[in-house]
């Protein structure tokens, strides 16, 4: 009888340790994920330039564009808004229609909310960086 009690305690301890390790691994992995983009389009025209990713989760080009923006965002988020709208939602479709654009592209706005440019087809982070800086009159980083 004593042997069974030891085995049950040992199994419980092993299970708890395993669960603890899995939880820690998941928490660490979550810190490595890129921060999400705000979908609050009311931030356009609030004094800071804004870049809006018109996103389609089904399109590879849209995911690539989001990855490029994530690479650059840390250099600019103190000077501009990074927003995204999903064309699969009513708000995203409405935004795309009001701007006369499709998906998987960027729409740039100045601080007053006037559209400055539509960026489509850029696949190079360096070109995206220089385009943002020139179109939004941002000083180089």
CATH for the stretch 41-135: 3.40.30.10
d(CA 110, CA 15) in angstroms, rounded, equals: 55
Q: What is the pLDDT of residue 24?
A: 73
Q: For 109-115, which contacts have Cβ atoms below 8 Å and span 24 or more sequence positions?
A: 109/44, 109/45, 109/49, 109/50, 109/51, 109/52, 110/49, 110/136, 111/45, 111/46, 111/47, 111/48, 111/49, 112/45, 113/44, 113/45, 113/46, 114/45
Q: Is the pTM of this model over 0.75?
A: no
* Amino acid 16: pLDDT: 79
Averaged pLDDT, groups of 10, the chain, 141 residues long: 57 80 64 65 93 91 90 88 92 94 93 92 88 74 53
pLDDT at 15: 79
Question: Which sequence spans correspond to the domains of the chain?
Answer: 1-33, 41-135
The pLDDT value recorded for residue 31 is 46
Q: What is the pLDDT of residue 81?
A: 92
């Amino acid at each position: 009888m004593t042997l069974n009690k030891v085995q049950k305690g040992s199994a419980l301890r092993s299970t708890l340790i395993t669960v603890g390790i899995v939880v820690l691994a998941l928490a660490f992995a979550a810190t490595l994920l890129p921060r999400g983009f705000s979908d609050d389009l009311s931030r356009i025209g609030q004094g800071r330039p804004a870049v809006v990713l018109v996103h389609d989760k089904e399109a590879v080009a849209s995911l690539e564009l989001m990855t490029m923006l994530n690479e650059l965002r840390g250099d600019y988020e103190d000077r501009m808004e990074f927003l995204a709208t999903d064309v699969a939602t009513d708000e995203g479709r409405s935004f795309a229609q009001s701007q006369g654009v499709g998906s998987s592209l960027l729409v740039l706005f100045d601080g007053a909310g006037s559209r400055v440019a539509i960026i489509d087809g850029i696949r190079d982070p360096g070109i995206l960086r220089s385009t943002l800086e020139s179109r939004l009159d941002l000083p180089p980083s």
